[in-house]
Structure 1
Amino acid sequence: MQTIDNSLFQVSVDENGAKMVHLVSETDNYDFLGENGTKEGMAIAFPVIDQDQNWISKLPWTVVDKGDTRVSLTLIDTPESYKVFPYHFEVMTTYALEGNQVEITFYLKNSSHKEMPFSLGFVLPISWSSDEGINQISLSNENHTIGIASTDFKLSTADNKIIASTNEVKLEAESDRNFTLTITLK
């Protein structure tokens, strides 16, 4: 488990699947991901959104950068992953704290000599009331409010989850791309 913090947040990230499992407010020790039975954490879905086929969430990632307020984890294709997803790739997820925000960046590099189709998403379990807007969702309960925003992902709520997802994207051979999602404490 990797933990980063600043004066407002403490974030814990599990190396298995690079998922955020705790998002704690330092002012009142409230865990946005651990209260009300939402123990799953914020999972990454790649190369498909379907959680049942999301083998990447079960693999151990390698910590490649760690500071007080940021942690980056990476996963590179293996012969086993190539059997399921026949592409050479590198993914890196970075969790960075800046003031009242947690910025989650997903970097994807296609190292194959062919175009790579994929979908990407983050799944965040919730049990709060939500208000959806264009590219943003506000979550609130009796005492806490957070906002989730992105111009790279379509944001939606369903089945007590927030889903930040892309449609299927095709990444050109030997190219890369960044995707960003921001969580703001209000």
Structure 2
Amino acid sequence: MQTIDNSLLQVSIDENGARMAHLVSESDNYDYLNDQEAKEGMAIAFPVIDGDNNWASKLPWTVVDKGDTRVSLTLIDTPESYQSFPYHFEVMTTYSLEGNQVKVSFYLKNSSHKELPFSLGFVFPIAWSSQSSVNKISLIGEEHAIDVASTDFKLNAEDGKVTAFTNKVELEAEKIREFVLTLTLK
């Protein structure tokens, strides 16, 4: 487990799946991910082409950079993943803190000599009431609130969770693409 913090937030990242396991407000020690609905934490799904091959949860992640307020983990294809998903890829997920915000950056590198089809998703399991706008979902609890925002992902709130996902897209050979999701605690 990797932990990053600043004066307002503490975030714990589980290297298994690079998922956010805890999101704690330092002011009242409230963990946004520590209730019955959120036991799985904030999960990542890649390439999400089919549920059986979520390499983000199956393959090992490696910590490649760590500071007080940021941590980056990398996922690289393996011979096993290549057999069922014949592409060479590198995924880097970075969690960084800025004030009351958690920025989740996702970098995808296509190391193949052909286009890589993929979709990408994050699942944030909080069953609070929600208000949606074009690029933001506001989750409102009894004493806490959080905004989930992105211009790179489609956001949806239902069934006790917020999902951030891309449609199936293709990344050109030897190219890199970045996606960003921001969580703002209120």
TM-score under structure 1 length normalisation: 0.96
In structure 2, C-alpha distance between the alignment counterparts of 1:58 and 1:12, rounded to whole Å? 20
Tell me, in whole angstroms, the C-alpha distance in 2 between the residues paired with 1:14 and 1:59: 13
**What is the letter of the counterpart of residue 172 of structure 1?**
E
Equivalent-residue separation in structure 2 for 1:70 and 1:49 (angstroms): 29
Structure 2 counterpart of 1:174: 174
TM superposition score normalised by structure 2: 0.96
Aligned counterpart, 1:118: 118
Alignment of 1:81 with 2:100, yes or no, is no
Q: Does 2:153 match 1:153?
A: yes
Q: Deviations over 1:33-74 (max 9, x none)?
A: 112431110110110165554232132200000000000000
Helix, strand or coil: the match of 1:113? coil
Instruction: Return 5+ residue gaps in structure 2 as ranges.
Output: none
Instruction: Name the CA shift for 1:59/1:181 in 2 (closer, same or farther; >3 Å).
Output: same
Equivalent pair of 1:131/1:137 in contact (CA under 8 Å): yes
Structure 1 pair 52/144, CA: closer, same or farther in 2 (3 Å)?
farther
Counterpart-to-counterpart distance in 1, 2:51 and 2:81: 16
Contact 1:110 1:176 in 2 (8 A): yes
- AA paired with 2:138? S
| Structure 1 residue ranges (4+ consecutive) displaced by more than 4 angstroms after TM superposition | 49-52
CA contact (8 A) 2:37 2:125 kept: no
Identity of aligned residues (%): 74
Change (3 A) 1:125 1:89: same
Partner of 2:67: 67
1:44 is paired with a residue of what secondary structure?
strand
Deviation by residue 1:124-160 (Cα, 9 ceiling, x = unmatched): 1112111111110001111001101000000001211
Tell me, what secondary structure is at the counterpart of 1:4? strand
Match of 1:58 in 2: 58
8 Å contact kept, 1:4–1:12: yes
1:99 corresponding residue in structure 2? 99
Question: 2 CA distance for matches of 1:55 and 1:167?
Answer: 17
| RMSD after superposition | 1.2
Q: Structure 2: which amino acid aligns with 1:13?
A: I
> Any idea what SS the aligned residue of 2:157 has?
strand
In 2, the alpha carbon distance for the partners of 1:50 and 1:33 equals 26
The alpha-carbon distance between structure 1 residues 50 and 162, as it changes in their structure 2 partners (threshold 3 A), is: farther
Q: Which amino acid aligns with 2:2?
A: Q
Question: Which ranges of structure 1 fall in alignment gaps of 5 or more residues?
Answer: none
CA distance in 2, matches of 1:70, 1:161: 25
- 8 Å contact from structure 2 (residues 41, 124) kept in 1: yes
- Deviations 1:84-118 (Å, cap 9, x if unpaired)? 21100000000000011000000000000000110
Matched position secondary structure for 1:37: helix
